[in-house]
Amino acid sequence: MTQVSNPLLPGCYPDPSVCRVGDWFYLVSSTFEYLPGLPVMRSRDLVTWETIGHVIDRSGMLDYDGLGSSGGLFAPTIRFHDGMFWVVCTLVDRASQPSESPRGNFLVTAADPAGPWSDPIWLDVDGIDPSIAFGSDGRVWLHGTRLVPEAEAEWFHQTQVWVREYSPTAQALIGPEHIVWTGAVRGAVWAEGPHLYEIDGRWYLLAAEGGTEFHHAVAVARSDSPTGPFEGNKGNPILTHRHLGRTGVDVIGPGHADLVQARDGSWWALLLAMRAPDRRHYPLGRETFLVPVTWEDGWPVFAPGAGRVPATVEVPWAHEPMAADSWQPDDRAPGIVGPGDARWTTPRALPAEVAQADADGWILPASAATLAEPTTATFVGVRQQHFDVDCTVSIDASGLAEGETAGFAIRQSEDDHVTAGFTRRGSGFTLAVTHRRAGTDIALHTAQVASGGSVGVRARGYRYELVHERTGHGAQVLAEVDARELDAVSTGGFLGVWFGVYATSHGAEPRGTARADRFAYVPA
């Protein structure tokens, strides 16, 4: 037996969806405003995953301009049928002034999960969290969730799961819509993330409820037909940690599960949950966990005998364990994340559209936009995946024009982030650390320096220390920030924290560039 540590995918990999094709498992997860969007990962053992591509990986597939933080791509589902991979997802616009570009639910297909994926087919249906199921009779069923109309709702944020047939030939929803579920627990908000499965002649509906934070849960129902009526499991919710209380466990909010069967006949669930040492705050975001599943009396049992997300899971056919604090750095130097690494992402643009890969770093043209605006700015970053990690980068700011800034950023959103940046002032530079909190900039450190140097963060639990190091000098701690002030509980939204590099002209006409070399991410 191989003991595998949870989470499988540390850092912000929420809303996992999984399918198996032959010997391979394929997984996608939400990416919100970051591009490339919807990483496609594969694994032979459900344990060791590699990114082989992205579903949204080319300019023009979707219009991201103006999308607010934690908008964008919500809750994808991946399935395989008739020689094709299918992904359905929602592009959500949380901006105050919605765009005229297409938004809502869409479908894409690909013969190869590494891509290319088709252009989106927009689905004429409201709501979020779409999923797709292929029946043994050849019929295709799309389903998702939406708010119950206010005049009909029995409680605040009551939602309903809809099911409707889809015609691949017509590329459209056909026939009547069926409302099949409003939640297992009366009064529970957001019955969402639904998935339908046809198993041994029955149809099973898996859904999340309780909101995507502390009270998150997994519920299940079954029927003889994908259009219902559905019978809820008397044991619902079949998995939650909310009943353990704030002192019970440091993994909170398990939910949004997807089922998959391995070649040996065993069943598994991949789901999201959050590591929260204080039982409240999770700056790493919602992560992907693995839970064993068995079947009793015609119902799935999650984590049998334990009833909670296990810290370690026995996977008998796993090739090698993946620990929760694993990291696969570039081969050129310990911890160096080269510009070709698949984890680099950018809000609302592809990394290559805002920066140029060069040797072991990035050339960063200053953008007029700053990190405080819901538009395309010069920023490339990677997810924080460890509570204890040193992340630093060497910044050459000599190519900046007067008043332009480049440096290191800890990004949660437009309204909440921390920057350690070098701003050209005549022949020298100002090095400033700024914490933008709830839309207000708070200066934490300002000093005159002759040149750039290495800047970054020393993260230890909930403590972020912003550091600066020059050649011949030791690392200097410039300021300290509480990571709990940058997580989704404090700031709103759905994301974890990103570490990255940026350059801006602060609204002026951009003229200069900076270099960011040897971006190092070293778990402590």
Catalytic machinery residues: 15, 192
Six-digit token pair at 96? Answer: 């105050």
d(CA 302, CA 237): 10
Radius of gyration of the chain, Cα coordinates, nearest whole angstrom: 23
Residues 6 or more apart whose Cβ sits within 8 Å of residue 213: 252, 253, 488, 489
Residue 95 CB burial class (10 angstroms; 0-12, 13-18, ≥19): middle
Instruction: Please provide residue 151's backbone torsions phi and psi, each rounded to the nearest 5 degrees.
Output: -70, -20
User: Which helix (DSSP H) or strand (DSSP E) does residue 209 occupy?
Assistant: strand 202-209
List the beta strands (DSSP E) in 338-439: 346-347, 356-358, 361-365, 378-383, 388-396, 405-411, 417-425, 428-437
Residues 6 or more apart whose Cβ sits within 8 Å of residue 90: 73, 74, 75, 104, 105, 106, 127, 128, 129, 130, 144
d(CA 347, CA 410): 13
Long-range contacts of 89-96 (CB under 8 A, 24+ apart): 89/38, 89/55, 89/130, 90/127, 90/128, 90/129, 90/130, 90/144, 91/62, 92/128, 93/66, 93/67, 93/68, 94/67, 94/68, 94/69, 94/70, 95/66, 95/67, 95/68, 95/71, 95/374, 96/68
Q: Is 288 helix (H, G, I), strand (E, B) or coil?
A: strand
DSSP letter, residue 32: B
d(CA 159, CA 183): 7
Six-digit token pair at 104? Answer: 């809502």
CA proximity to 73, closest of 61, 82, 86: 61
Answer for the pair 36, 348: CB distance below 8 angstroms, yes or no.
Answer: no
Q: In what order do the strands lie in the sheet with 388-396?
A: 356-358, 361-365, 513-523, 388-396, 453-460, 463-469, 476-482
Answer for the pair 132, 77: CB distance below 8 angstroms, yes or no.
Answer: yes
Buried-state track 101-112, b at ≥16 Cβ within 10 A, e below 16: eebbbbbbebee
Beta-bridge mates of residue 132: 142
DSSP letter, residue 489: H
> Residue with structure tokens 């072991």?
360
Beta-bridge mates of residue 445: 433
294 alpha-carbon distance from chain centroid: 28
